Amino acid sequence: MGHRKSKGVTIDADVVAGNGLLDRRVFLSGAAMSAATGGITFPDTAAGDPLPVESWMKTPGAPFVPYGQPSEYENKVARTFTTAPGTTGTGASRTPHHLLDGMITPNGLHFERHHSGIPDINPDAHRLVIHGLVKRSLVFTLDELTRYPMESRIAFIECGGNGQLLYQKEPAQVGVQQMQGQVSCAEWTGVKLAALLQEAGVDPKAKWILAEGADAAGMSRSLPLAEIMQDALIALYQNGERVRPANGYPIRLLLPGFEGNMNVKWLRRIKLTEGPTMTKDETSKYTITMPDGKSLQFVFAQEGKSVITRPSPGLTMKEPGFYEITGLAWSGYGKIAKVEISADGGKSWAPAALQEPVLSKALTRFRMAWRWNGGPAVLQSRATDDIGYVQPTREKMIADRGSRTIYHSNAVTTWGVSENGEVKHVYA
């Protein structure tokens, strides 16, 4: 395919990698879209047909409601969840990324991970205590916290066990929601932890903090003080509304880029200490057992990662022609620098378009133009962040960490497309 011109813009829509991947500039200039996709088959449309007067245009619509809800026709856009037998709310729910777009996760679809259900906290009775190695202990009501200067931060939170099915020997026949649905992204607003610690006066001997939640499990983690001072936020709002009960109401600790459970929900206590406290949640869980039998106890940042959300298992491709490959990338180390796409199982790669804004430690949406010829295809995405960290293949991840853990799985996820348009999870 040669060069085509549209409104003075020249676009090269050449195939840029194997099996029909097209130049990412298709998504970098809306004005050039029609030129760039010239010759590409789109689905049939009923262009020119007159618009009928539908039934909903003949009667008055629904009245106002106090709190809006999605259309009833979108009720399939929902979380799936599992609960441990014999427990109350111990388990996880997963975000339906294959049915969403953009970078922000709606509050009602943000993934959840609970260790003993969701506590019913009275915000007027809830307190946040800061104590330990400080000059003076402080106790905050929620009202007092809202009177401090606040700031907002768009950040992802990912469960340390997200993607754990990639450690299995055989590819699990599940979709992107079950495979990678324990990551979500929101705009969090609250008070910087550093401001509260400054008021308390940090003892020079303090090197760690203990963060503890008010749930029945008493979820708690030790965190290195120096590493969290810049980013840590006492989050009170999530996407403009109060943090929801399932995500830590009324107070959640936000640590952008850190493993999800370290972003302690229902935060009630921060204790400054000389060393890690060695709580049950950092000794019995969330450790990475290596091939030699030794375990990594403290692994803070979620490593660079990406996943294609469309096409993905459960979404059938109906006919050959032009498709958008899209997905999400993120890194606990910083910004996503690039995402590469392969349609031939890693034999060739081409860079995808990154949708702005591209923010540090936030989900980044990527897009790639693809002309599917109706033949077999093996789709993969590979993220690189701004410190140069490259998302590993599954083979490399297993070689480095073995398969005796379930945590920090960030390998390339692979979808296989068959001639009939069915998409499945495969290893390649």
> Alpha-carbon torsion 356, 362, 363, 368, what sign?
positive
Residue 226 DSSP class? H
**pLDDT-derived band at 5, boundaries 50, 70, 90:** very low
C-alpha distances out from residue 298 to 216, 226, 373, 407, Å: 24, 15, 47, 12
* Residue 354: HSE in the Cβ half-sphere, 13 Å Cα cutoff: 21
| Whether the Cβ atoms of residue 130 and residue 270 lie closer than 8 Å to each other | yes
| 135-164: average pLDDT | 97
Of the candidates 26, 32, 36, 42, the one whose C-alpha atom is nearest the C-alpha of residue 351 is 26
Helical (H) or strand (E) element with 153 = strand 151-158
| 380-408: average pLDDT | 96
**pLDDT-derived band at 9, boundaries 50, 70, 90:** very low
Helical (H) or strand (E) element with 63 = none
Q: Does residue 27 have a pLDDT over 80?
A: no
What is the per-residue pLDDT across 244-286, written as a single tens digit (0 to 9) for each?
Answer: 999 999 999 999 999 999 999 999 999 999 999 999 989 888 9
Q: What is the pLDDT of residue 140?
A: 98
| Distance between CA atoms of residues 105 and 330, nearest Å | 14
Of the candidates 305, 307, 285, the one whose C-alpha atom is nearest the C-alpha of residue 296 is 285
| Distance between CA atoms of residues 390 and 411, nearest Å | 10
Residue 359 DSSP class? -
Ramachandran category for residue 66: left, alpha or beta (phi over 0 → left; psi -120 to 50 → alpha): alpha
**pLDDT-derived band at 216, boundaries 50, 70, 90:** very high
Instruction: Give me 233's structure tokens.
Output: 């936020």
| Distance between CA atoms of residues 364 and 368, nearest Å | 13
Burial class from Cβ neighbours inside 10 Å (0-12, 13-18, 19+) for residue 314 reads middle
Q: What is the pLDDT of residue 50?
A: 86
322-357 burial code (b ≥16 CB/10 A, e <16):
bbebbbbbbbbbbbbbebbbbbbbbebbbbbbbbee
- Whole-model pTM: value is 0.93
Of the candidates 163, 165, 111, the one whose C-alpha atom is nearest the C-alpha of residue 408 is 163
Q: Does residue 36 have a pLDDT over 90?
A: no
Q: Is 27 or 328 the better-scoring residue by pLDDT?
A: 328
Burial class from Cβ neighbours inside 10 Å (0-12, 13-18, 19+) for residue 391 reads buried
**pLDDT-derived band at 25, boundaries 50, 70, 90:** confident
Q: What is the pLDDT of residue 6?
A: 39
Cis peptide before 311 (omega within 30 of 0): yes
| Whether the Cβ atoms of residue 220 and residue 213 lie closer than 8 Å to each other | yes
Helical (H) or strand (E) element with 268 = strand 267-273
What is the Cα Rg of the chain in Å?
24
